[in-house]
Amino acid sequence: MELASMKPIINALGKLNRGKRTHAALVLCAATALALPAQTFTTLLSFDSTDGAGPQGALVQGTDGNGYGTTAAGGASNHGTVFQITPTGTLTTLYSFCAQTNCTDGELPTAGLIQAASGYFYGTTSSGGAETAGCLGCGTVFRLSPSGALTTLYSFCAQAGCTDGYSPNGVVQAANGDLYGTTVYGANGSTDSEGFGTIFKITPAGALTTLYSFCPQTPCTGGKNPFSALVQATDGDFYGTTGAGSANQTIYRVTPAGKLTTLHRFCSHPAPSGECPDGSLPSGLIQAANGNLYGTTTFGGANCVTATQLGCGTVFEITPGGTFTTIYSFCAQTGCPDGAYPYAGLVQGTDGNLYGTTGGAGQYATIFRITPSGVLTTLYTFCSAGGTCTGSEPSAALVQATNGTFYGTTYRGGANFTCPQGCGTIFSLSVGLGPFVEPRPTSGKLGAKVEILGTNLTGATSVTFNGTAATFNVSPSGTYIATTVPSGATTGTVQVTTPSGTLSSNMPFRVLP
């Protein structure tokens, strides 16, 4: 199979037909990239299809200090891979999908991975899985050991009428240890029988419960067709977005029990010329240290509006209570030096700023930094001067590793042309931020087990939770610390004292009652 529905925006706006495999080709951006003097950009790897092609999901740092991710195509069967990459760019393919007859192990993994407290990685495939009467593979949830042993936990559309949904968007592990996610289609039907998507819970052992089915009534006041994963906020609820149709794009909150509240409806007050000043086609959300949620929209906003172009995208902020603010509209200057079409979500750096990418082709593809109040700085422009792209169309959120450097992927471009227009890349960007530690999970009760990720932790002499000392063990690799939430701990910063100095967590650790 060739790369299926790989252009992210087309993938979001299109449909994955039941029982069908869709095909598309990669496109090359012919240019080179220039970095601003204060930034250090490095292309770590160019995919060549044999090791994967077209990464769309964000990377995740493992407890061993390496990065882990997926490609939607390429690999031994050309149906996608799971890979490991070292901070210096050595890649190992851990698993190639469609290794089983009829792709019962899944195919087309477009979402990133998570690493659970057990050490296993969890993820989803958009198609493949066990065949049912209604679907020749509607996606899976899988578990993968660090050595690459894959277990398919669930194949979607296992219920009549696909009431359990199909085409999942990835999972997140909640504080209770279960996994939560969304499916683009399935459940409540429509005139074309595709359905409007679901929110589900699945145990690490594979028992799935559908918590919510979108569009239970007409009109779809709760939105329909979620194209992004969930995020669990500090209040314990989950937040996400829906993306189908100008009247059905929303930001919502859903409780672990499945009660959904719509917080914002995009384009509910379109401008006379037809554009959506608050944005259109929202990405996934993150919660920042100030407690508010941030995201991007691929289209809409105040700029680059013509008879055929309805905005170049936005960055927005929304409070957990639903107060919405557009903090930036892209293409604010002639020629769009600030980029356009931010398909991917954001990440908050240890400096308090938000970092993200714009996903347009050519000079519209950038890496940017934006303050929570909306002051944007373009840090890097892909394909800006002519020659071969160092990558094109970054479609996944960045991740900041505990060494302080940001890592990301591009869906196209790169140095290898096994794919017609480049198979994509993995890159790093250093902006001068120092190392830190990252507790995983980010919340827990007193006595709960916690792993603290870091760099060069060997020789650590103390670990504290908001000033309360904890007992701990440093891994032989020095890349993580095993500990428990100490008695008397309160919500606040986790700190680790090492021979090189004291490292603080990037986000407060929340102590649960």
pLDDT of residue 245: 63
**208 vs 334, which has greater pLDDT?**
208
Cβ burial, residue 50 (10 Å; 0-12/13-18/19+): middle
- Read off the pLDDT of each residue in 98-115 and give the average, rounded to a whole number: 95
**253 vs 18, which has greater pLDDT?**
253
pLDDT of residue 33: 33
- Read off the pLDDT of each residue in 45-50 and give the average, rounded to a whole number: 96
Check pLDDT > 80 for residue 246.
no
pLDDT of residue 26: 30
pLDDT of residue 268: 74
- Of 231-240, 315-324, 408-417, 481-490, the range with the lowest mean pLDDT is 408-417
Q: Name residue 253's beta-bridge partners.
A: 239, 261
- Read off the pLDDT of each residue in 118-127 and give the average, rounded to a whole number: 96
First to last CA, the chain: 50
- Of 47-51, 132-136, 255-259, 472-476, the range with the lowest mean pLDDT is 132-136
**pTM surpassing 0.95?**
no
Residue 2's CB is within 10 A of a number of other CB atoms, namely 18
State both tokens at 461: 């002499």
- Read off the pLDDT of each residue in 53-76 and give the average, rounded to a whole number: 97
Q: Tell me the CA distances in angstroms from 158 to 100, 186, 206, 213, 359, one per residue in order.
A: 18, 11, 13, 16, 35
Check pLDDT > 60 for residue 498.
yes
List the one residue out of 352, 368, 354, 373 whose CA is nearest residue 289: 352
List the one residue out of 419, 420, 423 whose CA is nearest residue 409: 423
Confidence band, pLDDT 50/70/90 cuts, at residue 494: very high
- Read off the pLDDT of each residue in 37-52 and give the average, rounded to a whole number: 90
pLDDT of residue 304: 80
CB within 8 Å of 336: residues ≥ 6 apart: 304, 312, 330, 360, 363, 364
Report d(CA 224, CA 1) in Å as an integer.
29
pLDDT of residue 276: 86
pLDDT of residue 35: 42
- Of 120-134, 136-150, 207-221, 298-312, the range with the lowest mean pLDDT is 298-312
Edge-to-edge strands, sheet with 449-453: 438-440, 449-453, 480-484, 472-474
pLDDT of residue 385: 53
Check pLDDT > 90 for residue 264.
yes
pLDDT of residue 215: 84
- For 71, how many CA atoms within 13 A lie in the half-sphere containing its CB? 38
- Read off the pLDDT of each residue in 4-33 and give the average, rounded to a whole number: 34
Check pLDDT > 50 for residue 428.
yes
3-state secondary structure of 356: strand
pLDDT of residue 415: 87
pLDDT tens profile 454-489:
999 999 999 999 999 999 999 999 999 999 999 999
Percent of the chain with pLDDT over 90: 72
Report d(CA 22, CA 4) in Å as an integer.
5
What is the torsional sign of CA 241, 15, 420, 139? positive
Confidence band, pLDDT 50/70/90 cuts, at residue 193: low
3-state secondary structure of 316: strand
Task: Answer yes or no: are the C-beta atoms of 252 and 266 closer than 8 Å.
Answer: no
Instruction: Calculate the average pLDDT of the chain.
Output: 87
Instruction: Write the DSSP assignment of 367-433 as a string of letters.
Output: EEEE-TT--EEEEEESS-SSSS-S-B---S--EE-TTS-EEEEESB-SS--SSTT---EEEEEE-S-
pLDDT tens profile 355-375:
999 986 666 789 999 999 999
Q: Which of 129-133, 191-195, 384-388 has the highest mean pLDDT?
A: 129-133
Q: How far is CA 318 from the centre of its chain?
A: 19
Confidence band, pLDDT 50/70/90 cuts, at residue 504: very high
Q: Which of 9-23, 323-337, 387-401 has the highest mean pLDDT?
A: 323-337
What is 8-21+29-430's CATH superfamily?
A: YVTN repeat-like/Quinoprotein amine dehydrogenase (2.130.10.10)
Instruction: Write the DSSP assignment of 143-182 as a string of letters.
Output: EE-TT--EEEEEESS-SGGGTT-EEEEEEEE-TTS-EEEE
Longest distance between any two alpha carbons in the chain, whole Å: 64
Confidence band, pLDDT 50/70/90 cuts, at residue 3: very low
The residue ranges of every structural domain in the chain are 8-21+29-430, 438-511
pLDDT of residue 25: 29
Q: Which CATH architecture has domain 438-511?
A: Sandwich (2.60)
- Read off the pLDDT of each residue in 51-80 and give the average, rounded to a whole number: 96
CB within 8 Å of 144: residues ≥ 6 apart: 82, 94, 95, 113, 120, 121, 122, 123, 150, 151
Check pLDDT > 80 for residue 96.
yes
State both tokens at 76: 């031994």
pLDDT of residue 18: 34
Confidence band, pLDDT 50/70/90 cuts, at residue 21: very low
Cβ burial, residue 352 (10 Å; 0-12/13-18/19+): exposed
Confidence band, pLDDT 50/70/90 cuts, at residue 166: very high
Check pLDDT > 90 for residue 7.
no
Report d(CA 422, CA 411) in Å as an integer.
9
List the one residue out of 132, 262, 115, 259 whose CA is nearest residue 199: 259
List the one residue out of 203, 202, 200, 201 whose CA is nearest residue 214: 200
pLDDT of residue 336: 87
